[in-house]
Amino acid sequence: MNFLKETLNIKDILSILPHRYPFLMVDRVIDFKAFKYLRAIKNCTSSETCFQGHFINNPVFPGVLIVESMAQATAILIYKSINTLNINKLCYFVGMDNVRFKKSVIPGDKIFIEVFILKKHKKIIQFKILASVDASIVCRSTMMFLIKNSCI
């Protein structure tokens, strides 16, 4: 039995995602299993540009950026799953349902993101994603991605 976790550092993530600072929302992948799950981290530092105005004297990490970090983590799982098959595919975010915010995220928090494949139907894959801070869920959602052939 293999107990070694598959991890990805920031260089690996930059080679997968097209996003760059200040819109790169995944700092590290701490564990994943292709076609199954992924666990990642987003560190919310006080130097994040969003904290300059959201909100002065009461900084809160915007919910839309939590959702973006969840979507980026999901895209990494898709890439690490389908590209292990040596096929040229792209993924497109096509929808989300049941998004719920449970708690605020503030500077210094580490968002722990968990992505699970729920089901696949033809070219659409549905995922369950949880984001938590200190073992408390801050956001949950289901998201759908479309897998298409690359033009390359």
pTM, 2 dp:
0.92
Give the start-to-end residue ranges of the domains of the chain.
10-149
Q: pLDDT for 45-76, tens place per residue?
A: 999 999 999 998 999 999 999 999 999 999 99
With a CB cutoff of 8 Å and minimum separation 6, the contacts of 123 are: 146, 147, 148
pLDDT at 152 over 50: no
Q: Confidence class of residue 89 from pLDDT cuts 50, 70 and 90?
A: confident
pLDDT at 149 over 80: no
pLDDT at 86 over 60: no
pLDDT at 93 over 60: yes
For the residues 8-12, what does the mean pLDDT come to?
97
Q: In this structure, how many other beta carbons lie within 10 angstroms of the beta carbon of residue 29? A: 25
* Summary mean pLDDT of the chain: 92
Is-contact 80 31, C-beta < 8 A?
no
CA distance 99 to 120: 20
Show which residues are catalytic: 54
Q: pLDDT for 103-121, tens place per residue?
A: 999 999 999 999 999 999 9
Tell me which CATH code domain 10-149 carries: 3.10.129.10
The encoded tokens of residue 72 equal: 């980026």
| Chain centre to alpha carbon of residue 21 | 15
